[in-house]
């Protein structure tokens, strides 16, 4: 695979060059006084940071229903965010035409909830930081796809700490075209390699009840999930989670009910609905005010269900989402 | 649920395709075949109309088991509806397996002519759930 080795400042100057174009935007990270946060840059970059060591929300969330014509947006995001973008594009929530998605190798992140003091933003310092402390988010520590191998292009880090830009599609070449130098063969070994496969997720309803005991049904997990995109969610009406009169009628019909009711309903239905598109970013857990280990469930279930169809969310633009397609000759043992 | 549930009864909610399984159940009725009274059928225009959310809702609102039944693959009235059902319900079964409650969900293919097969399948499911329930109550 061919790529280009970067010198210091190469990315910034290429992005600045890109931003000079009419209606060109860059969604990336800004290094501010209080840490790093996502930012959409217009005109020119200032305090740009390639890596973001703090995870607050999945930035693909901001891209939903982006159909603008004539405006070029360059995404410089983590692999999980680019994968969520790919899934949303398959679900026709984003127009792919005007977007150049660049995934950047991710050394891992810490939760925005327990951010204390300074966290390094350079790749080599960050890997050392995570080696010496166990503050990495659980979702990141079990993440199998932290490599920047998705989207139109990728920024990879090799074992000597050099950055490489590797185009995967024609669109990815536009980033490379704004840089000087020649393409050369990319080293096979990178700093962040493939992770090992996790065990099959297995749990029972007692553990589930214990874990979700604190749930207050605020539904923040649904609102912050990048791939939970339905405008008219099934939980908006009175059919699944009744309120007011509907609730009283239901209790009169069926008997005493512990409140808030419908926790299993809400989480299991959501778990199923996002099962093929979940990227395991852990934005739901990040948004949960009660600290429920949501990633464990959502990632575990989605890995099992995606494994059935040899699918992986966000891996490529061309794979169809399994529930939206079928093969005639498959699943012979589905019937009981 | 106006009157109180029978204590030893097992409640099964079945989603039956109106072109095949529901016809089979009607035929079973006209042939005077008997199937357990805890089985409640919900008629759906095609088995792919069943959103797995319906199944999850049925189970957490009190059903002991749920089955989804449709035409044999390839025989769908809407050409390919039951291929989608097969993928969706197989995935839902895998999810129930992860939560250790695999026995609560079944998927049947029953054509309109197979009244006997429908009765057998339903009775079999009912008996197994009843056995499990009795075991639980003993323990």
pLDDT digits (tens, 9 = 90+) for A80-122: 999 999 999 999 999 999 899 999 999 999 998 887 667 888 8
Q: What is the pLDDT of residue B8?
A: 64
Q: How close is the nearest chain B Cα to the Cα of A181, in Å?
A: 49
**Can you give the residue range of the structural domain that contains A307?**
205-324
DSSP track, A117-170: S----SHHHHHHHHHH---B-HHHHT-S--SS-SBSEEEEEBTTS-EEEEE-ST
Same structural domain for residues A175 and A209?
Answer: no
Structure tokens at A176: 């490379």
Same domain as A256, residue A136: no
Q: Identify the pLDDT of residue A221.
A: 95
Which 3 state secondary structure label does DSSP give A270? helix
- Environment class of A144 (CB within 10 Å of its CB; exposed 0-12, middle 13-18, buried 19+): middle
B114: confidence class by pLDDT, cuts 50, 70, 90: very high
Burial class (CB in 10 A: 0-12, 13-18, 19+), B138: exposed
pLDDT for residue B1: 43
Shared domain for A34 and A139, answered yes or no, is yes
> In the predicted model, is pLDDT for residue B7 greater than 80?
no
Taking a C-beta distance cutoff of 8 angstroms, is the pair A276, A321 a contact? yes
Q: Which of B56, B91, B109 sits opposite A305 (nearest CB)?
A: B91
Shared domain check, A154 and A21: yes
Within 10 angstroms of residue A238's Cβ, the number of other Cβ atoms is: 14
Length of chain A: 336
Q: What is the CA radius of gyration of chain A?
A: 21
Interface test with A, best of B5, B47, B57 (most A CBs within 10 A): B57
Domains and CATH numbers, chain B: 12-138 (3.40.50)
In a domain, A191, yes or no: no
> Do A128 and A222 belong together in one domain?
no
Q: If interface means Cβ-Cβ distance under 8 Å, which residues of chain B face chain A?
A: 1, 52-53, 56-57, 60-62, 73-74, 80, 83-84, 86-95, 98-101, 106-109, 121, 125
Query: In residues, how long is chain B?
Result: 139
Please give the mean pLDDT across all residues of chain B. 92
Same domain (yes/no): A156, A209? no
pLDDT class of B3 with cuts at 50, 70, 90 = very low
Positive/negative CA dihedral, A327, A331, A332, A335: negative
Mean pLDDT, chain A, integer: 91
- On whether both A276 and A164 belong to a single domain, the answer is no
* Residue B106 pLDDT: 96
Cβ atoms of A72 and A95 within 8 Å: the answer is no
Same-domain pairing of A86 and A159: yes
What are the pLDDT digits (tens) for A152-165? 999 999 888 889 99
Collapse the DSSP code of A37 into the 3-class scheme (helix H, G, I; strand E, B; otherwise coil) and give the result: strand
Q: Give the count of domains, chain A.
A: 2
A139 lies in some domain: yes
Alpha-carbon gap, residue A48 to A30, rounded angstroms? 5
Smallest CA–CA distance from A204 into chain B, residue:
B99
Q: Are residues A212 and A178 in the same domain?
A: no
Q: Of the candidates A202, A204, A334, which has its C-beta nearest B107's C-beta? A: A334
- Same-domain check for residues A242 and A300: yes
ipTM of the complex in this document: 0.92
d(CA A95, CA A73): 11
* Tens-digit pLDDT profile for residues A245-278: 999 999 998 889 998 999 999 999 999 999 999 9
Comparing alpha-carbon positions, the chain A residue that sits nearest to B122 is: A336
Verify that A54 and A166 share a domain, yes or no: yes
Tokens of A6: 């970067």
pLDDT for A25-67, tens place per residue? Answer: 999 999 888 888 899 999 999 899 999 999 999 999 999 988 8
- Considering only CB atoms, which chain B residues are within 8 Å of A268? 56, 60, 95, 99
DSSP A186: P
The 10s digit of each residue's pLDDT in B29-84 is 999 999 999 999 999 999 999 999 999 999 999 899 999 999 999 999 999 999 99
- Assigned token pair, A290: 């009660």
Taking alpha carbons only, the member of A236, A238, A265 closest to residue A249 is A238
Q: What's the CA gap between A34 and A112, in Å, rounded? A: 12
For residue B2, the model assigns a pLDDT of: 42
Say how far apart CA A144 and CA A196 lie, in whole Å. 7
Nearest to B60 among A203, A234, A264 (CB): A264
Judgement on whether residues A18 and A79 belong to the same structural domain of the protein: yes
CB B50 within 8 A of CB A272: no
Question: Is A276 contained in some domain?
Answer: yes
Please tell me the distance from the alpha carbon of residue A62 to that of residue A93, in angstroms, as a whole number: 11
What tens digit of pLDDT does each residue of A277-291 get?
A: 999 999 999 999 999
Instruction: Judge contact between B65 and B129, C-beta under 8 A.
Output: yes
């Amino acid at each position: 695979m061919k790529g280009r080795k970067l010198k210091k400042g190469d990315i910034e100057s290429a992005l600045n060059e890109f931003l000079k174009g009419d209606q060109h935007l860059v969604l990336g990270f800004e290094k501010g006084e209080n840490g790093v946060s996502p930012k959409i840059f217009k005109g020119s970059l200032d305090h740009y940071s390639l890596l973001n060591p703090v995870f607050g929300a999945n930035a693909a969330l901001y891209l939903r229903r982006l159909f603008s014509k004539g405006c070029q947006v360059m995404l410089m995001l983590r692999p999980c965010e680019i994968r969520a973008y790919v899934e949303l594009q398959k679900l026709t929530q984003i127009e792919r035409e005007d977007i150049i998605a660049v995934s950047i190798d991710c050394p891992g992140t810490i939760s925005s909830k327990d951010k204390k003091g300074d966290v390094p933003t350079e790749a080599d310092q960050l890997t050392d930081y995570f080696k010496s402390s166990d503050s990495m988010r659980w979702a990141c520590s079990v993440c199998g796809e932290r490599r920047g191998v998705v989207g139109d292009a990728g920024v990879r880090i090799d074992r000597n700490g050099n950055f490489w830009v590797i185009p995967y599609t024609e669109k990815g070449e536009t980033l490379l075209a704004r840089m000087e130098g020649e393409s050369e063969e990319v080293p096979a070994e990178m700093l962040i390699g493939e992770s090992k496969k996790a065990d099959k997720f297995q749990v029972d309803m007692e553990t589930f009840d214990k874990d979700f005991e604190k749930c207050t049904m605020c539904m923040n997990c649904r609102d912050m999930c990048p791939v939970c995109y339905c405008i008219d969610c099934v939980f908006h009406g009175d059919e699944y989670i009744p309120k007011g009169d509907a609730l009283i009628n239901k209790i009169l019909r069926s008997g005493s009910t512990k409140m808030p009711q419908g926790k299993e309903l809400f989480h299991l239905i959501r778990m199923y609905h996002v099962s093929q598109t979940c990227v395991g970013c852990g934005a739901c857990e990040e948004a949960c005010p009660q600290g429920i280990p949501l990633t464990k469930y959502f990632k575990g279930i989605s890995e099992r269900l995606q494994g059935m169809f040899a699918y992986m969310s966000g891996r490529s633009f061309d794979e169809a989402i399994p529930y939206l397609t079928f093969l005639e000759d498959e699943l012979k043992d589905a019937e009981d | 649920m106006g009157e109180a549930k029978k204590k030893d009864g097992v409640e099964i909610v079945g989603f039956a395709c109106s072109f095949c399984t529901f016809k089979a159940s009607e035929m079973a009725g006209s042939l005077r075949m008997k199937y357990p009274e805890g089985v409640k059928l919900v008629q759906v225009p095609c088995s792919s109309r069943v959103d797995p959310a319906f199944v999850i809702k049925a189970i957490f609102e009190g059903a002991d088991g749920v089955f989804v039944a449709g035409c044999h693959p390839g025989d769908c009235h809407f050409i390919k509806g039951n291929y989608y059902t097969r993928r969706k319900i197989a995935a839902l079964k895998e999810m129930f397996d992860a939560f250790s409650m695999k026995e609560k969900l079944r998927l049947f293919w029953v054509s309109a002519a197979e009244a006997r097969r429908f009765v057998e399948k339903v009775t079999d499911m009912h008996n197994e759930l009843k056995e499990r329930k009795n075991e639980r109550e003993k323990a």
